[in-house]
Amino acid sequence: MNNYPEEYLRQKLEWTKQRMEALEQIEIKLHHMKELASYARDNELSQAEKQKINDKLHELQNDVNELDEKTRVPWVDNQ
């Protein structure tokens, strides 16, 4: 068993909480993306509607990437 300093473990716990929150937000955004894609697949849309959905999908994708980047594992000892 590793004997890490208490402060290190507190920081890791705080990061874990932040990561879990981010993953919950990512899950919500991915679900919304799936709904938009299904809607686009199942309906005849005008070019403007398609563009609006595409823009929203790109926005959500950027949000997901940003959340992931902000909370990615900062520890080398993550094994």
pLDDT computed for residue 79 by the predictor: 45
How is residue 77 written in tokens?
């000892």
- Whether 4 shows a pLDDT value over 90: the answer reads no
**Domain coordinates of the chain in residue numbers?**
43-71
Using 50, 70 and 90 to split pLDDT, how confident is the model at 3?
Answer: confident
Q: What is the pTM of this model?
A: 0.84
**Whole-number percent of the chain with pLDDT over 90:** 84
How confident is the model at residue 74, as a pLDDT?
Answer: 72
* Residue 66 pLDDT exceeds 60: yes
Instruction: Say what the pLDDT of residue 76 is.
Output: 61
Residues with Cβ within 8 Å of 68's Cβ and at least 6 positions away in sequence, in order, are 22, 26
- Contact indicator for 18, 71 with CB cutoff of 8 Å: yes
CA distance 41 to 72: 33
The residue behind tokens 């509607």 is: 49
